[in-house]
Amino acid sequence: MKAPQLNELIRSRRSVFPAQFIPGKPVDKEIIEQVITNATWAPNHGQAEPWQFTVFSGKGLVKLSTFQSELYKQKAGEKFNPIKFEKLKNNPLLASHVIAIGMRRTTTKNIPEIEDIEAVACAVQNIYLTVSAYGLGGYWTTGGVTYYDEAKSFFGLNGPDKLLGFFYIGHVGIQPGAAKRSPLHEKVNWVDV
């Protein structure tokens, strides 16, 4: 890949939300395996590889849908929002695959927790770029049950591990709009003397 191609891939990447997917159109498992493989090539301190991915597809999407909507209903109490409940129940069913993004806490090395989290975030960027390179749509959400401790065991996580959200993947039906970024001079300080 040449630098201009990489620049284009990075700058054209967009979040594509479940309502923008072509419902029911599956992504080949081989592509999802490439997506996950590329995720595991993210930089990480001490080669700890702190990521833990749980991939839902087919009937697994129904299991995820039921689990997260029911846990939300149980935990929400008087703050229960029926629109949020329906979204948690229906959004997974619009995707081809949903990847639960887990962070397994590195306990055998002296690595600060934030560095495990940062490594997983780098892995998610690799997921985003790979999905985009294949012409697919993707979206990382940290909503729903992400921060419920009670959710962790469903995704094979426990103790100091963290659930860092979900990555939805599907074929793009409705193209996302153009994105904007503020000028570099508003967020970069150059120190060259």
Q: Is residue 40 part of a domain?
A: yes
137-141, strands of its sheet edge to edge: 51-57, 97-103, 162-170, 137-141
pLDDT one-digit tens code per residue, 39-90: 999 999 999 999 999 999 999 999 999 999 999 999 999 999 999 999 999 9
Q: What is the value of pTM for the model shown?
A: 0.94
- Looking at residue 170, the DSSP 8-state letter turns out to be E
For residue 131, the enclosing domain spans 18-173
CA angle, corner 38, sides to 32 and 40, nearest 5?
110
Q: How many domains does the chain have?
A: 1
Answer yes or no: is pLDDT of 7 > 90: yes
CATH number at residue 146: 3.40.109.10
113 located within any domain? yes
Tokens of 34: 């490439």
Domain annotation covers residue 109: yes
Q: Does residue 2 belong to any structural domain of this protein?
A: no
Instruction: State which amino acid sits at residue 58.
Output: G
